[in-house]
Chains A and B, each alone.
Chain A
Amino acid sequence: MSTDITTAVPAPPAGPSAMQRLLGLNLVRSLLVSLGVLVVGVLLLESTDAYTNTQLSSLTYFTIAAIGLTALTGLNGQISLGHGALMAVGAYTTALMLDTDSPLPFPVIALAAIVMTSLVGFVVGIGAARLHGPYLAGATLAFAVALPSVALYFKGTFNGEAGLTVISPRPPEWFVSFIDAVSGEFATSSKYVAYLGLFCLVIALFFALNLGRSKIGRHWRAVRDQEVAAEIAGINLGRTRVQAFVISAAYAGLAGAVMAMVVRLAAPTVFTLVLSLSLLTAVVIGGLGSITGAFIGSAVLVFLPPLVTDLSTDAKLSDTQAAQMSPLIYGIVLVLVMLLAPGGVMGTLSMAWRRRRARRQLTATPTKKG
């Protein structure tokens, strides 16, 4: 018994070789993008002043955390208002490990921060996997509020409200000579931290670029879109959600490690609910699930407030008024994005691009026929 869909023209012999080539291509492409970011980062760091350098270091840790959150929310559909608290875990770990006469090399510390945060993320993730929508938002919110008080309770280790002062790692010899060779300047400790942030960002970016297209990313999206279909395909929903939370937490941990060194302080006042909320806003402004969006959103978050304050001061507003301007403008930007571009910057751009391509295809078809 055969019908017009079974009697088919044999498909061209594409097969696994083409697939492998494609996979290789993605790996190569993400490597190129990461290296591109590294080069641009070095150029930016070397061509700007110390103040902008610090802003750029803030951008690196913000972006790392935002990438982790956009993967969780965008790919797996879980919302988290607790990523600021997860960053605190990474930051405190870093602060404690740097507080010796001869601290371990940074990669080891960063790894420890990632592992610690992943463990906490695992515990939170187990709870989160059972919750949806507003309940998940509420639970992670409670986590964000509760975690900093751990620092107050264990005063001996975490020094309570005052927090831990982070001793910035001293730049090693090779770094000093490298900076001397590139720009002829003296490598300060903040410059070293900025470079560490940049390296962490590049590595985080490389993994994230592959994650979205890997089997793991596919499973995350399947669980987000169609629970039943994913389950039927043999995916364990709970395990996948916890996995997403742990990986996202690892990003927050790395971001926290960098943040501790940039801010030079790990204290409850640094990791407030506002931090968690700003991360989520950055991700939403940029466009959920988009890594480029995470970059853009973080950049808005880092550069917009000082820019507004500067402009207000130039406009002869008093200092108080100038300081009040930036949250106002930020709020307006947020409202405008939600109203005019609910898909965020990247969501809107990709929709416009798709529409343009569709239009071009429509106009191209008749000419092909005629």
Chain B
Amino acid sequence: MSVLEIKNLTTTYGPVKALDSVDVAVETGQITAVLGANGAGKTSLLRTVSGLVKPTAGTITLDGTDITGKPTESMVHRGMAHVPEGRGVIAELTIEENLRLGMRGAAKRPTDTPAPVRTLDDAYQLFPVLGDRRNAQAHTLSGGERQMLVIARALLARPTLLLLDEPSLGLAPRIVAQIFNLVRALVNDSGLTVLLVEQNARSALSIAHTGVVLNLGKVVVTESAEVLQNDATLRHSYLGF
């Protein structure tokens, strides 16, 4: 069963078609990676899904409910948490205040949603670095720590679907591996569903179940991660490795 179903989605910025009849199905308890070069429409896809951009055509269904064009701030109550590109920590707030912002989203969620992170303590246990510095302002964190903070913040909203936008951006390979492994562990242990947008195709496919390749706003391939990793032609032409 799929948590998120995107059908025939088209988003335009003026005359430019950022997304052109895109179909993506995100299966429950799986990681679906959306891959592609700069300008392929990856971020536009996430922004449209979370309501930051209104689509010109198509439908988005979350858990069987049509959420196309619904306001962004309502998404978190419907069970969708978005980790935006460039991390989006609130620099002037402390780590704990940032996390409390995430807990706000959980207030209207059914209490029986399976969630790996329910309390601040859970978050600190998952990321001890954050616990050690809970009263420090977020702008004092490193890039990797910021990524951990926003993931923890998103998880505290008890989502069924986590949208991750380029979590590897600007991070050292070792940190990327840590974060990706953590995401995979969360999915394995708790049944969380993840829609991951990544330029770093090799890392993304190493944890994903399914890969969707976008090129110039269109879906070129939808395949299992294994197949994509082993298809040399596809890798060379779209994924650059």
Chain A: residues with CB nearer than 8 A to chain B? 1-6, 8-11, 13-15, 19, 215, 218-219, 221-222, 224-226, 228-237
A128 to chain B, nearest CB (A): 19
Q: How many Å from the CB of A18 to the closest CB on chain B?
A: 10
Whether A222 pairs with B90 at a CB distance below 8 angstroms is: yes
Closest to B94 in A: A218
A1 and B188 in contact (CB under 8 A), knowing A231-B52, A234-B74?
Answer: yes
Cβ of A14 and Cβ of B101 under 8 Å apart?
A: no
Residue B226 is within 8 A (CB to CB) of chain A in the complex? no
B positions within 8 Å CB-CB of A? 50, 52, 71-77, 81-82, 84, 88-93, 97, 100-102, 104-105, 108, 119-121, 124-129, 131, 148, 150, 153-154, 157, 177-179, 181-182, 184-185, 188
Q: Tell me the complex Cα distance, A215–B103, Å.
A: 11
A221 contacts B93, CB within 8 Å?
yes
A-B residue pairs in contact (CB < 8 Å), sample of 8: A5-B128, A9-B128, A13-B121, A218-B100, A222-B93, A229-B89, A229-B90, A231-B52
Q: Are the C-beta atoms of A233 and B105 separated by less than 8 Å?
A: yes
- Alpha-carbon distance between A19 and B121 when the two chains are bound, in angstroms: 11
Contact partners of B125 in chain A: CB under 8 A: 8, 10-11
With a 10 A CB-CB cut-off, give which of A4, A6, A232, A235 has the most chain B CB atoms.
A232
In the complex, what residue of chain B is closest to A8 when comparing beta carbons? B128
Most buried by B among A221, A229, A233, A235: A233
Complex: how many Å from CA A329 to CA B157? 53
With A13-B121, A218-B93 given, is the CB distance from A234 to B105 under 8 Å? yes
Pairwise interchain contact B131-A11, C-beta atoms closer than 8 A: yes
| With A5-B129, A9-B128, A14-B121 already in contact, 19 other A-B pairs whose C-beta atoms are closer than 8 Å | A1-B181, A1-B185, A3-B181, A6-B181, A6-B182, A6-B185, A221-B93, A226-B90, A229-B150, A232-B72, A232-B73, A233-B101, A233-B153, A234-B73, A234-B77, A234-B157, A235-B73, A236-B71, A236-B73
Contact (A232, B76) CB under 8 Å given A1-B188, A3-B178, A6-B185: yes
Q: Which of B71, B76, B124 contacts A11 (CB 8 A)?
A: B124
Q: Of the candidates B100, B104, B124, which one forms a contact with A234 in the assembled complex, judged by CB atoms under 8 Å apart?
A: B104
Q: In the bound complex, how far is the Cα of B144 from the Cα of A4, in angstroms?
A: 14
How far is it, in angstroms, between the C-alpha of A9 and the C-alpha of B154 when the chains are bound? 22
B185 touches A231 (CB 8 A): no
Taking CB atoms, residues of chain A closer than 8 Å to B71 are 236
- Residues in B whose Cβ lies below 8 Å from that of A14: 121
A233: contacting residue among B76, B131, B177, B181, CB under 8 A: B76
Residues in B with CB closer than 8 Å to A15 are: 119, 121
Q: Is the CB of A231 within 8 A of B73?
A: yes
Contacts of B124 in A (CB 8 A): 11
Give chain A nearest CB distance to B193 CB in angstroms: 17
Output the least CB separation between A152 and chain B (Å). Answer: 42
Closest to A218 in B: B97
Q: Which residue of B lies closest to A231 (CB)?
A: B72
Contact B93 A225 (CB under 8 A): yes
Contact of B92 with A221 in the complex, beta carbons under 8 Å: yes
Q: How far apart sit A14 and B126, CA to CA, in the bound complex (Å)? A: 15
Q: Which residues does chain A contribute within 8 Å of B178, judged by CB atoms?
A: 3-5
Contacting pair B93 A233 (CB below 8 A): no
Q: A225 and B153: CB pair below 8 A?
A: no
Nearest Cβ distance between residue B146 and chain A, in whole angstroms? Answer: 11
Q: What residues on B are CB-neighbors of A221 within 8 Å?
A: 90, 92-93
Residues on A with C-beta less than 8 A from B52 are 228, 231
Which chain A residues border B108 with CB–CB below 8 Å?
Answer: 234
The 10 closest A-B pairs by CB, nearest first: A229-B88, A234-B76, A11-B124, A231-B72, A234-B105, A3-B181, A232-B82, A8-B128, A233-B101, A225-B90
Q: How far is the CA of A302 from the CA of B235 in the complex (A)?
A: 71
Beta-carbon nearest neighbor of A5 in chain B: B178
Asked if A225 and B92 sit within 8 Å, CB to CB, the answer is yes
Contacts of B74 in A (CB 8 A): 234
Residues of B near A232 (CB, < 8 A) are 50, 72-73, 75-76, 81-82, 84, 88, 154
* Cβ B184 vs Cβ A225 within 8 A: no
Docked Cα-Cα span, A13 to B92, in Å, equals 27
Query: How far in angstroms is the closest Cβ of chain B from A77?
Result: 10
Residues of B within 8 A of A230 (CB): 90, 101
The closest CB in chain B to the CB of A225 belongs to B90
Q: How far is the CA of A14 from the CA of B125 in the complex (A)?
A: 12
User: In the complex, which residues of chain B have a beta carbon less than 8 angstroms from the beta carbon of A10?
Assistant: 125
Which of B73, B92, B185 has most chain A Cβ within 10 Å? B73
Residues of B within 8 A of A219 (CB): 101
Inter-chain CA distance A181–B101, complex, in Å, is 51
Q: Which residue of B lies closest to A240 (CB)?
A: B73
Using Cβ atoms and an 8 Å threshold, which residues of chain A touch B157?
233-234
Q: How far is the CA of A229 from the CA of B97 in the complex (A)?
A: 13
A125 CB, nearest partner CB in chain B, Å: 18
